[in-house]
Amino acid sequence: METACHHDSFSEENETLTRARIARFSQYVLSKQAWFRSANELIAAVELVAPHIAHYWACPNARFLDQKNDPEPEYSLVNVHMMLAGFAIENLCKGSLPARLTPKEQEAVTKGELPKSLRTHDLLKLIEQTEMTLSDAEKELVNRIGEARWRGRYPSPISHKDIGPSLRSGSDVGRIKTFLEKLRKHVGAKPFYQ
């Protein structure tokens, strides 16, 4: 008898914990502020990496011009910068999407399920869902940022078919910053320092 009572108590605690986890999950998924807060933290990290990239690109120029400069960094961090920017783009987009969920999708969230529209990591698809129009140059930049999801973490993607040309440019830092600000305004996210 004691074992059955202990089991019932454990089961109730488990159910209570599960309900609390689902409530927290749905609170975060349905909160644009939660998504935007994560985006802002990622953008802060992007901004921290940017000076390193500028220094990396300046070193070969200084060497070419026969100027003395600090030692050349071993790593460019370009792919890491772009990967973080991609994560920020994803969070900015996903922050604007909960308001567009169908009642059925919202109900699924309250049961602990992430809707299909929020499961994607396809940046162009997510941006399209926000109804933001992109120029061809922005699409090209976002495509390269999307590819940096693996380039910033691994030496290789999961298939050789995913390896494309890796264009790198010091000017991407400014282009990415401009794009993030444009997307931030489009989805109604404020910088975290405001």
Residue 33 DSSP SS3: helix
How confident is the model at residue 112, as a pLDDT? 95
User: What pLDDT sits at residue 170?
Assistant: 58
CATH 1.20.120 assigned to domain 31-187? The reply is: yes
Residue 97, φ and ψ in degrees, nearest 5:
-85, -30
pLDDT at 69: 59
Q: What is the pTM of this model?
A: 0.84
| Spans of all domains in the chain | 31-187
Q: What is the 3-state secondary structure (H, E, C) of the chain?
A: CHHHHHHHHHHHHHHHHHHHHHHHHHHHHCCHHHHHHHHHHHHHHHHHHHHHHHHHHHHHHHHHCCCCCCCCCCCCCHHHHHHHHHHHHHHHHHHHCHHHCCHHHHHHHHCCCCCHHHHCCCHHHHHHHCCCCCCHHHHHHHHHHHHHHHHCCCCCCCCHHHCCCCCCCCCHHHHHHHHHHHHHHHHCCCCCCC
DSSP 161: G
The predicted structure's pLDDT at residue 169 = 57
Closest CA to 126 of 145, 108, 112, 111: 145
- The per-residue pLDDT string of the chain (194 residues; one tens digit each, 9 = 90 and over) reads 455 565 667 688 889 999 999 999 999 999 999 999 999 999 999 999 999 888 887 776 545 555 565 677 777 888 899 999 999 999 999 999 999 999 999 999 999 999 998 999 999 999 999 999 999 999 999 999 998 888 888 888 888 777 766 655 557 999 999 999 999 999 999 876 64
